[in-house]
Amino acid sequence: MKKIQEYEKDLASIRTMMERSAKFISLSGLSGVLAGIYALSGAVAAYFIAYYPVSPLRYRIYSVQDPATLLKLIAVALVVLIASLTTGIILSSRKARRDGSSLWTPASRRLLLSVSIPLLTGGIFALIMLGTGHYGLAAPACLVFYGLALIHGSANTVDEIRYLGYSEIILGLIATSFPGYGLIFWAIGFGLLHIFYGSIMYRKYEK
């Protein structure tokens, strides 16, 4: 007869197999940490492009309206996005191989589909805000729609993604009351929060 420990091991294996089929659990926490570092680096670059040598505490006094400067800021954001996505794909693929799984699974496809609509909608909305001169709403919109995308996709991946989504939405709503400080909130939301939750995921699932 099997010992109780053997039954528990069998049940754990079955549970793991069910989770892998239902959820995308190969998402790399380390990629989240690196994405946060990229975002903080991008925020520093954006500060020097748009505000230097003005103190960060005096952002509200100044408004970036020069088209050339806005294009540079958008370029910085795109570089951060591409670097984050590339790192996420590479590290998550490596984690999937280590776990004996695949990066492209039904669960990962559901995750991609569930986050794509809020992200695309938010990106278009932010560009419209910039194009119509509502610069102070662009950063809060990015945070709120990103949070909605994370919550929408959290059913297909680890629980920490849902809590990150809640945090992004709350931060984005707070940012709407401080339109002159969008870069600071952007750095907190895409930088510090990614590092915080990515560290939790790394310690919980990868160590």
Please tell me the distance from the alpha carbon of residue 31 to that of residue 37, in angstroms, as a whole number: 10
pLDDT at residue 190 in the model:
94
The whole-angstrom separation of Cα 201 and Cα 203 is 6
Instruction: Return the pLDDT at 88.
Output: 87
Residue 206: DSSP 8-state = I
Length of the chain: 207
Max distance between CA atoms of the chain, in angstroms, equals 76
For the chain, the straight-line distance linking the first and the last C-alpha, in angstroms and rounded, comes to 34
Alpha helical stretches, state H, 51-105: 67-98
Residues 142 and 146: their CA atoms lie apart, in Å, by 6
Instruction: Identify the three-state secondary structure at position 24.
Output: strand
Closest CA to 36 of 83, 74, 70, 71: 83
pLDDT tens, per residue, the chain with 207 residues:
445 555 455 555 555 554 555 566 667 889 999 999 999 999 999 988 887 777 766 655 555 667 788 888 889 999 999 999 999 889 888 888 887 777 777 777 888 888 899 999 999 998 898 888 787 888 899 999 999 999 988 888 888 899 999 999 999 999 998 877 888 999 999 999 999 999 998 888 877
What pLDDT score was predicted for residue 41? 95
SS3 157: strand
Contact 73, 97 (CB under 8 A): no
Return the pLDDT at 43.
92
By three-state DSSP, how is residue 100 classified?
A: coil
pLDDT at 18: 47
Q: Distances from the Cα of 66 to the Cαs of 19, 128, 183, 198, 200, in angstroms?
A: 50, 16, 16, 35, 40
Helices marked H in 99-177: 106-131, 138-153, 160-175
Q: Write the CA distances from 161 to 49, 51, 61, 200, 204, integer angstroms.
A: 32, 33, 35, 11, 13
User: How much is the pLDDT for 24?
Assistant: 61
Residue 145: predicted pLDDT: 95
